[in-house]
Structure formats: structure tokens, C-alpha cells
Amino acid sequence: MSADPAPSSGPGRTRGHEPARPQAKSAGSAVPGPGATPEDAQGLALAAAAGIHRLAIPTPFQVGRVNAYLIEDSPLTLVDSGPNSAKALDELEQALGALGHAIEDIELLIVTHQHIDHFGLASILARRSGAEVAALDRLAPYLARFGEQTELDDLFAERIMLRHGIPPDIVTALRAVSASFRAWGSAVEVTRPLADGTELRLRDRTLRVIHRPGHSPSDTVFLDESSSILLAADHLIKHISSNPLLARPLGADVDDADRSRSGERPQALVTYLASLRLTREMELSLVLPGHGQPISDHVSLIDERFRLHERRAAKIGRLIAAEPLTAHEIAQALWGNVAVTQAYLTLSEVLGHLDLLLNDGRAAELDTDGVSRFRAA
Ligand SMILES: [Zn+2]
């Protein structure tokens, strides 16, 4: 068994989540929360000085709270909403109230990506406030037909899981779990589709819209150009490595997306690392993530992530040098029972690193009766 931590970022995925243990209460805008360092408090204060306030909203997922951000500007803007639950709505309302605002005051709601812990409440908030809803243009059809789209995601995941050695009974069980999580999401109509690279102008600032896929196909980060603060959602998280979940490409139908074999499979980790390299080059004063504390030194954190992924790829390379293995067998060797309870999550993690090895010619994929095994090349 490995000393590596299990892949744990788990933010907002619709599969593989376990209901969380009760979380310590830590909401509130300027409250750094338990375990926060003076540096964390300083980061939040810097953001607040730029009119950006963190609202830590509870989720039922293992990842814990999700960060929404209120931008006190005109229009009054909320970046992400939290999941679709009464508890999330209640705490959001309280956190807004502590800043002197009500849900009805929100004028613009920004959705950062397609995970339900981030956008589940958006439709309720939009209905109550009349706010415009802004998101990446390519994400809009997904959000509008959320139920149908997650069905397709599940079908895609099912095919991937069967091809990569997860037993059918586990696949069936995971589908049921995923269906039960769907209630924390909700379809929402995007009224302001945003093109990659464009500007979102507020009275006191300009937000640059930047597509940085990898953690999910729709990850969008927003650069406040006046303060050099990056609203990064799950693109970069301080306390956990953001997990590039293998996902159906936006807009792909299932047969299109049933590219479960190498060469055809979407390469989430490869995409993610390319996105991180672009973010690494940015001059930033602060990164505000979708979970946890602000990041003041994004370059060091990103370099740390590069090293983590290299180490993990090397380790997987050693495992398959001994004998050909399915991705699920590799996940079990690395994480034991977590590879069963979080089967899709761990499978995504392994496949991501196998992609790195395959692309470098360090691994080969063999097909036996529709199941892929990997060997060292
Ligand atoms: Zn996410």
C-alpha cells in the first residue's frame, strides 16, 4: 500500500463522492476558518480590500465547504453559488447578510464550471434575485439541460469504468450513487454566455474570462485585472491537488465520447497540466480557489503539483513494469479500498498518469475482450 494520499480533491464531482462527515462550522466572509494561518487571513483581507469576499458554503460532499465569492461592485456579483440545498441557501443568506446584502440584491451570478457543488443553487438564486447568469459559452447548453447532460456523463463514465476493469456490480452501485447526487444540482439558464478571452466589465473592474480546462472540461478562471487577483475555482486548490476528472467532452454525444481507449480517450490530466503551465506564467497577487484558503504563491504551488504528478506517473510506471495491469488494478495497488468506494475518481487519476506515460512512449495499452491493460514499453 502506498504512502501517497488518496486522490482527494473530489470537488464537485457527480460521481465518487461519499457523503461528508459533519464539518466544523466555518462559514462567514472574513472568517478564515479552522486551521487558517495568519497568511490565510492576510489573503482574505487583501481580497476584501479589493471588494471580493469569500463565502464558505456547506456541501454534503467529502470535499467540505465550497467558496463562493461576492464581488461588491456594480452589478453586485456572486461567483458560484454552492450546491442546491436548504442548508447551503440558508448559510449563503446569512453570509450575504453579514456583508449587508440579501439574495435579492445579487445582479450577476457567475458559474465557474460544471460541478454541482459550485452551481447547484444558481437557478434558485437567479429566480429570487432576477440576476443575470454568466458562464463560458460552451458550458451554457450543459447547464440548461443539466439532467439530460449528467445522464450522458454517467453513461460515458460507465463505459470507461467497464473498459478499465471495474467490476459491473460496482459500476451499477456507483450509478445509483451518482443519480442520488443529482438532486444537489439544478438546470439553470445562462443569460450571458462568455467567450474565452473576453472581458466582463463591472463598474470598478474588468474581469478577464479565461478557459482553463482539465479539472473539468468547462473550468473558467476570472482575472480581476486591476488587482491581479485570480478567481480560480477548482483549477488550483491549496490543500489538495485538484483532481482532473475524466469527463465527457462538452457537447459530445455518448457514442462520440465513448473513446475509452488510449489515443481516443479525453486526456484530462494532460489538459490540466497544460492549463496549469499557462496559469504559472501569470503575474498574480493572489489566487482565490473554490475550496479552502487563498494562495499567495501560485508558482510554488503549481511547481509542487508538477512534481506530484511526475512522482505518481513514475510510481505507476514501476507497477506496470512488473506485470500488465488494468487501470482499476493500479488504483487498488495505490489506494486499496478507496479505489472501490471512489472508483471513478481513482480511475481518472490513474488514467491521467497513464496518459502521460503513453504519450512519452513509456507505456502501451493492450486490449483483451474490450478490457484495457497497461504494460511498460
Ligand atoms: Zn469542481
Cβ atoms of 75 and 107 within 8 Å: the answer is yes
> 3-state secondary structure string, 190-239?
CCEEECCCCEEECCCCEEEEEECCCCCCCCEEEEECCCCEEEEECCCCCC
> From the centroid of its chain, how far is CA 160?
19
Distance 129 CA to ligand 1 centre (A): 25
**119 C-alpha vs ligand 1 centroid, how far in Å?**
10
Q: What is the pLDDT of residue 265?
A: 85
Rounded to the nearest angstrom, the distance between the alpha carbon of 21 and the centre of ligand 1 is 19
Give the residue carrying C-alpha cell 465518487: 16
12 CA → ligand 1 middle, Å: 4
| 111 CA → ligand 1 middle, Å | 11
Distance 161 CA to ligand 1 centre (A): 20
Q: Which three cell numbers stand for residue 200?
A: 466582463
DSSP tag of 67: E
Distance 358 CA to ligand 1 centre (A): 26
Can you name the residues that pair with 56 across neighbouring β-strands? 67
38 Cβ contact partners less than 8 Å away, ≥ 6 residues apart: none
Q: What is the DSSP letter of 92?
A: H
Determine the pLDDT at residue 3: 30
Task: Indicate the residue type of 150.
Answer: T
Distance CA 42, CA 184 (A): 32
Cα of 272 from ligand 1 centre, angstroms = 13
* Grid coordinates of 252: 459530445
Q: What is the pLDDT of residue 18?
A: 33
- At 21 the pLDDT is 32
Question: What is the whole-number distance in angstroms between the Cα of residue 116 and the centre of ligand 1?
Answer: 8
Cell of 104: 435579492
Query: What is the whole-number distance in angstroms between the Cα of residue 263 and the centre of ligand 1?
Result: 25
pTM equals 0.90
Residue 7 is predicted with a pLDDT of: 38
- Cβ-contact 204, 145 below 8 angstroms: no
Distances (CA, A) of 253 to 40, 155, 187, 249, 266: 42, 10, 18, 9, 13
Q: Which residue from 93, 193, 211 is spatially nearest to 133, judged by alpha carbons? A: 193
> How long a stretch of residues is the chain?
377
Residue-level pLDDT, tens digit, the chain, 377 residues: 233 333 344 333 333 333 333 333 333 444 566 678 999 999 999 999 999 999 999 999 989 999 999 999 999 999 999 999 999 999 999 999 999 999 999 999 999 999 999 999 999 999 999 999 999 999 999 999 999 999 999 999 999 999 999 999 999 999 898 888 899 999 999 999 999 999 999 999 999 999 999 999 999 999 999 999 999 999 999 999 988 999 999 987 766 656 655 567 899 999 999 999 999 999 999 999 999 999 999 999 999 999 999 999 999 999 999 999 999 999 999 999 999 999 999 999 999 999 999 999 999 999 988 899 999 99
Torsion from C-alpha of 276, 281, 282, 286, nearest 10 degrees = 70
- For residue 133, the SS3 value is strand
Measure 108 CA to ligand 1 centroid, in angstroms.
Answer: 21
For residue 100, what are the CA distances in angstroms to 29, 42, 53, 82, 352? 11, 22, 12, 19, 44
How far apart are the CA of 216 and the centre of ligand 1, in A? 7
Distance of alpha carbon 181 from alpha carbon 340, whole angstroms:
18
